[in-house]
């Protein structure tokens, strides 16, 4: 088996160690004997609907988000949305997460339209949320990460939150939610990087990909001693600093 990982706008939206997520996806494939290839897809490059198995879309600065926002409108965005509707797995963090919603309103700038895949919208907030985060999610157990955002995300009535905030601020600092999940696509504010310390999420994405491409249901378990240590340490640290 072979999976191709598409790092959306990996050349410009790659701050805060986002590379860790892509490495985690690729390595956990390889350790199971699944071949993994990483390709980045930039502004102006066409999205071949059959070429990719897992998508990652990270965060960027506001000024980098503007060309991306205009690139994702039109045929490329339609193709991506159709893939996600069809169950293609994706992790989006921060800026990518915001653009999967209906719109994003940066501070003092024009409102940027989003893809509208999540029933959610975002706007610039008055305060920057910076710190360790622990989330209780039904599906993946606890999730740990580090948030660093001033954008606030609000979920609409049909949206499902990724989880509830135990430590940290989350989507908007008000309603106790963090992130969003729909079909096999996750959006969240968790850097850290997220996937290496939360292998349950990584495996969820890989499992969805091999099922969609090869009809394979089973994913071989891996030894996660070091990941568990890092995960537990991050919880302890978040509780101490939160």
Partner 1 sequence: MRFDARLGLAIAAGKLSAASIRWLGRGGGTALPGVLSNGLDPDVLDKLAARVPGGCIVVAGTNGKTTTSRILAETLERAGFGVIHNRSGSNLVRGITAAFTEQVSLGGQPAGEIAVIETDEAAFPEVVRRTKPRLIMLLNLFRDQLDRYGELDTIARNWRETLDGLDPSQTLLINADDPTLAAISEDSPAQRLTFGFRECQYTLDHLPHAADAAVCRRCGASLIYDELYLSHLGAYHCDQCGYQRPDLTFGARDITLDGLDSGSLVLETDQESLAIQGRLPGLYNLYNVTAAAAAGLVLGMPGEVVQAAIGDFQAAFGRIERVQVNGRTLVLVLIKNPTGFNEVLRTLAMSEMTDPVLILINDLDADGRDVSWLWDVDAEHLAAVEAPLYTGGIRSGDMAVRLKYGGIPPERIIPLGDVAEALDPFIETIPEGGTAFVLPTYTAMLRLRELLHRRGSVQMFWEQ
Q: Which active-site residues does the annotation give?
A: 94, 191
Q: How far is CA 162 from CA 104, 149, 173, 178, in A?
A: 19, 17, 15, 6
Measure the CA–CA gap between 68 and 172, rounded to whole angstroms: 23
Binding of partner 1 by 232 (CB under 8 A): yes
- The whole-angstrom separation of Cα 131 and Cα 107 is 22
Q: Which of 17, 113, 173, 176 binds partner 1 (CB under 8 A)?
A: 17
Question: Nearer Cβ to partner 1, position 62 or 123?
Answer: 62
Q: How many residues bind partner 1 (CB under 8 A)?
A: 36
Q: Which is nearer to partner 1, 13 or 83 (CB)?
A: 13
Q: Least distance in Å: CB of 224 to partner 1? A: 10
- Touching partner 1, residues 142-201 (CB under 8 A): 146, 148, 191-193, 196-197
Contacting residues for 187 by C-beta, under 8 A, at least 6 apart = 92, 93, 96, 97, 100, 101, 118, 120, 162, 179, 180, 181
Least separation in angstroms between residue 196's CB and partner 1 is: 5
Pick the closer one to partner 1 by CB: 159 or 165: 165
DSSP E strands, 71-198: 90-93, 103-105, 112-113, 120-137, 141-155, 163-167, 177-178, 180-182, 185-188
Biggest CA–CA distance in the chain, Å, is 49
Residue 38 touching partner 1 (CB under 8 A): no
Helix (H) or strand (E) holding 76: helix 75-85
- Position among 5, 7, 18, 153 found at the interface with partner 1 (CB under 8 A): 18
Indicate the residue among 68 and 155 with the shorter CB distance to partner 1: 68
The footprint of partner 1 (CB under 8 A) covers 11, 14-20, 23-24, 27, 61-63, 130-132, 146, 148, 191-193, 196-197, 223, 225-227, 229-234, 237, 241
């Amino acid at each position: 088996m072979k999976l191709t990982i598409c790092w959306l706008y990996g050349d410009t939206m790659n701050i805060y160690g986002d590379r860790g997520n892509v490495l985690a996806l690729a390595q956990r494939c390889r350790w199971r004997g699944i071949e993994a290839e990483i390709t980045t897809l930039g502004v102006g490059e066409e999205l071949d609907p059959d070429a990719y198995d897992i998508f990652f879309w990270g965060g960027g600065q506001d000024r980098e988000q503007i060309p991306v926002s205009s690139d994702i409108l039109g045929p490329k965005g339609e193709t991506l949305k159709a893939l996600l509707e069809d169950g293609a797995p994706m992790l989006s963090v921060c800026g990518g997460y915001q653009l999967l919603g209906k719109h994003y309103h940066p501070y003092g700038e024009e409102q940027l339209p989003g893809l509208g895949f999540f029933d959610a919208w975002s706007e610039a907030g008055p305060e920057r949320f910076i710190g360790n985060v622990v989330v209780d999610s039904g599906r993946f157990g606890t999730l740990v990460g580090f948030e660093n955002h001033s954008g606030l995300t609000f979920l609409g009535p049909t949206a499902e939150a990724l989880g509830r905030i135990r430590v940290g601020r989350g989507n908007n600092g008000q309603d106790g939610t963090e992130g969003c999940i729909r079909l096999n696509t996750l959006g969240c504010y968790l850097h850290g990087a997220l996937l290496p310390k939360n292998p349950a999420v990584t495996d969820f994405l890989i499992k969805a990909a091999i099922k969609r491409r090869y009809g394979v249901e089973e994913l071989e378990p891996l030894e996660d001693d070091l990941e568990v240590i890092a995960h537990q340490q991050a919880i302890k640290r978040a509780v101490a600093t939160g």
